[in-house]
Chains A and B, each alone.
Chain A
Amino acid sequence: MMRSSALSLALGYVALGLTALVLFAAPLWYAWQITIQDERAEILQADAQRLTDLYRRNGADALKSFIDARVGMQIVGERILLLTDASMHPLAGNLQEWPATVPAKAGDYYVRVQVSDHGNQNALVHVAMLGNYNLLVGRDNALFQPLQTRFWYGLTAAVAVLCIAGLLVGLITRRALMSRVNSIRQTVSAIIHGDLKHRLPTHLNDDELNTLSRTINGLLDQIELLVHGVRNVSNSIAHDLRTPLAELRSRLEELSLIRPSTEETYTEIDGAVTDVDRVIRIFDALLRLAEIDAGMRRSGFVPFDVSDLAANAVEFYEPAAELKNIDLKFRSNGPLWVSGDPVLLAQALSNLIDNALKYAPQSGTIEVAIQKLEGSAEISVADNGPGIDTLEKAKVVQRFYRGDASRGTPGVGLGLSLVQAVAKLHGSALELKDNDPGLKVVLTLAVDESSAAARETAPKPAADAAIAAPSTLASLP
């Protein structure tokens, strides 16, 4: 039989049940035995006492005849009686001779005796010394045999029931479990064979398998999304790289065919270098994304002032905004410390401002705002450009996706994907909201309470330490 966890579990429970049963029965058996023995010894003592009294009162002959009468009366022979003289010669009773294993000394003994007409018996005997006579009274243990037998039968039955029930429950559980596991296995092998649409069956209840199935389904959703993404990306890479590569190729081929004047050749070569740079740029963006997606940059997390970072980014884009006569505004309520990767966040924010500059109309407005919310910092970049359709919102963060509005503008279509990847790395979501008119992109970060608090209690050194950390990277080259 296949190894089955359900079956092993059931067998384990059976073993546990058996142990419990033994632990329960053993002391019971012991206590029972002790009680019976004590009671019997008492009965035998009372018997012996009665016979002794008779002997004292009426003499040996009276005792002899009393014993004979008693022996003659009993049918089953459960009582054992024997009277002997000092030389152990039997005078009366139902034993042929004094049992060899019983000493001629007052006391209780547990022996096997030969009773006339009734065969061998296990018996408890009590010996009393009456002057020149020895008296032995006993009771056959077989009297209690049925009770003992019933006890043992009961115990055996309990063990049997336990074993069978355990095995049955084990087998049934195994069957039920196997059928569910099998359905999961079939689904998974369908997925392995490439059909990512399949999902594990789930029920309404919340048992372990269901919870697991739901988690796995979540995993599958993510995988499907990623695979889909990869497929899209490969297609888009093919498309976006092919364009500059095709230009490059035709440029070079034309040069080789036409062999124009030196001056013209140089111009063409410069153009070719620009084409190559475009390809390299796309590759760099992709590598950066892959790096962020892999979560490797989490090591770069330090506390830093996001307000300062945003102010710098705004200042960086100020002249570019002026060129388009765009009013680039910055709103913030002073320093706001967050924990994150300042290099990546600067890049993300710069991408957002860059995008806003592309889409905001001439003489438009862009507002970059840093807001402190309950335990989090909200970074938003809002423009008054054409905005994004609700339908298109999910698509714009896809790699290489370029909305219709962006056709003819420079860029490789990776900007928002990078922002999204950075947001994800920081455990935050990227929200695209309507600015009526325009687009408002919101990034939420967790506020770094510890460094904020440290700054308040000890303003100077803590602030220095917090600034020193992010700038280590920056100051390296």
Chain B
Amino acid sequence: MKILLVEDNERVTQFVIKGLQEAGHTVDHAGNGRDGMFLAASEPYDVIIMDRMLPGDIDGLAIIEVLRKAGKRTPILILSALSEVDDRIRGLRSGGDDYLTKPFAFGELLARIDALHRRAEGINHETPLVVGDLHMDTLTRKVTRGDRPITLQPREFKLLEYLMRHAGQVVTRTMLLENVWDYHFDPQTNVVDVHISKLRQKIDAEFERPLLRTVRNAGYTVTASD
């Protein structure tokens, strides 16, 4: 993936560039709004990571608005130290696709970039969803593993559906909270983990090969490969 990072803080820049390169991505960097605007408008990127507050007279949201007006549809993730709900709404209204507040865990950033890229390439609407020998038919709402039917509660179904649509990708707890439960806050206790372990009981417990795996310091992934 070719990624543009517009960020003025050197430490954050280093940390993100290093991490993204290690994950196999190509990263361009702009340290101010002017350069960011120029690069974003002239080069084709898969994803743009945009800091909201930038030195100089052009801030992140202004760049996004200009890009959107110019018809650029590149997925944009906004990075910001402003965490209030209203700030978040303003950020997304300006044309951003996702919003991540600083400080953030790198795993969270990576997972969100992947999800954005995947979404831009077109949501996986195919049915049935298949991961290894796990099948999910979103129309008949039937789930089977091998030839064994699995009964899921509606919310468990939604959780598994989200995981399977992002099969092979890391999905963080926050992403699950936001997309499966529509909760935009931190529920303090590890309730998501409990839901996951319950789901795991149903789809993995009696099978040799686990599909729903925990990714340390990041979240979960559903994958058939090793």
Contact = CB atoms under 8 A, between A and B. Distances in A.
A300 B85 contact: yes
Interface residues of B, number: 30
Contact of A315 (B99, B155, B179, B198): B155
Contacts of B189: 320, 354, 357, 410
A72 B98 CA distance: 122
A422 to B, nearest CB: 11
Contacts of B155: 315-316
A317 B89 contact: no
Interface in B165-191: 178-179, 181-189, 191
Indicate the member of B83, B103, B155, B191 with the most A CB atoms within 10 Å: B191
Contacts of A319: 191, 194-195, 197-198
A350 interface: yes
Contacts of A476: 88-89, 92
B194 A280 contact: no
Interface string A265-278: 00000100100110
Nearest to B92: A476
Interface stretch (A62-70, A116-124, A291-299): A291-299
B121 interface: no
Interface residues of A, number: 39
A296 B84 contact: yes
B22 interface: no
A133 B182 CA distance: 121
B86 interface: yes
B217 interface: yes
Interface in B127-165: 155
Give the secondary structure class of A's interface: helix
Given A280-B103, A312-B181, A287 B83 contact: yes
A354 B85 contact: no
Contacts of B88: 476
A187 interface: no
A343 interface: yes
A11 to B, nearest CB: 52
Nearest to A409: B189
A291 B188 contact: no
Contact of A477 (B103, B178, B191, B194): B178
A288 B187 CA distance: 13
B97 to A, nearest CB: 8
Interface of A: 270, 273, 276-277, 280-281, 284-285, 287-288, 291, 296-297, 299-300, 312, 315-317, 319-320, 322-323, 343, 346-347, 350-351, 354, 357, 410-412, 415, 471, 473-474, 476-477
Interface of B: 83-86, 88-89, 92, 97-99, 103, 105, 155, 178-179, 181-189, 191, 194-195, 197-198, 217
9 contacts: A277-B105, A316-B183, A316-B195, A319-B194, A319-B197, A347-B183, A350-B185, A474-B182, A476-B88
